Amino acid sequence: MALLTCEHLSLGYEGHEIVHDLNFKVNAGDYLCIVGENGSGKSTLMRTILGLQPPLGGSVMTGDGLSRNEIGYLPQQTVVQRDFPASVQEIVLSGCQNRMGFRPFYGREEKRIAKENMEKLGLTQLAHRCYRELSGGQQQRVLLARALCATQTLLLLDEPVAGLDPKVTAEMYDIIATLHRHGVTVIMISHDVDAALRYATHILHVGKQLYFGKRDDYLQSEAGKLFLLQQEGGASE
């Protein structure tokens, strides 16, 4: 059974529809990149998947034993969040909150999970550093470790390389690819079409034309051809 199934999904705000009749499935082991024009509804879709925003129509269903509070989420950062005055360890640990039920304090298991994910992302030496003192790439690794504390199954990443320089961008993509190779299913919003076509197993195009399918088939679709042409035109201006 699919980890995530969206059927006849309509998305928007206050009755204003921006996506109509969207259908796709994500299976264990997929790496799905969501692409499309600005304002086409990509972030709205992610918030709807997480249950943070209701759909205007249709349904979002989890399966294969996955519940919504077991999905790891790395959102786009705001300026205020970049200046958050907490330690790296505290922020990573906060990803365990959904595991705790009604317990008010982190236990041994939560601390073990946080330590393991800090080690995985090379953050051990930064554990007691203040988050707002870190570089943009280090902050993204902290937030990714936090998201991993919520899941070993499905990660949702909203523009995880936004604002990063090319070297740090490449490092972040390599980290995500490694997590995917080790069994984490990935859904990532990206404006970087080249990276999407390099790493993804499947593409979901959201916009005036909808497309969902395998990466290689996207290049031959009308939605893919038109979007790639627009991207090339924008790059040449």
pLDDT digits (tens, 9 = 90+) for 127-149: 999 999 999 999 999 999 999 99
The confidence score (pLDDT) of residue 235 equals 55
Tokens read off for 127? 């554990």
Closest by CA position to 5, among listed 19, 26, 20, 22: 26
CA angle 50/54/55 to nearest 5° reads: 105
* Rounded Cα distance, 194 and 40, in Å: 19
Q: What pLDDT is stored for residue 205 in this prediction?
A: 94
pLDDT tens, position by position, 11-21: 988 778 999 99
**Per-residue confidence (pLDDT) for residue 179, from 0 to 100:** 95
Closest CA relative to residue 154, chosen from 54, 228, 73? 73
Reduced to 3 states (helix: H, G, I; strand: E, B; else coil), residue 152 is coil
69-99 pLDDT, tens digit each: 889 999 987 665 777 889 999 999 999 887 6
Residue 231 has pLDDT above 90, yes or no: no
Strands 202-205 and 185-189: unpaired
How far does CA 38 lie from the centroid of its chain?
17
Q: What is the mean pLDDT of the chain?
A: 89
Q: Quickly state the pLDDT bin for 100 (edges 50, 70, 90).
A: low
**Residue type at 98?**
N
> What are the pLDDT digits (tens) for 162-182?
889 999 999 999 999 999 999
- What pLDDT shows up at residue 48? 93
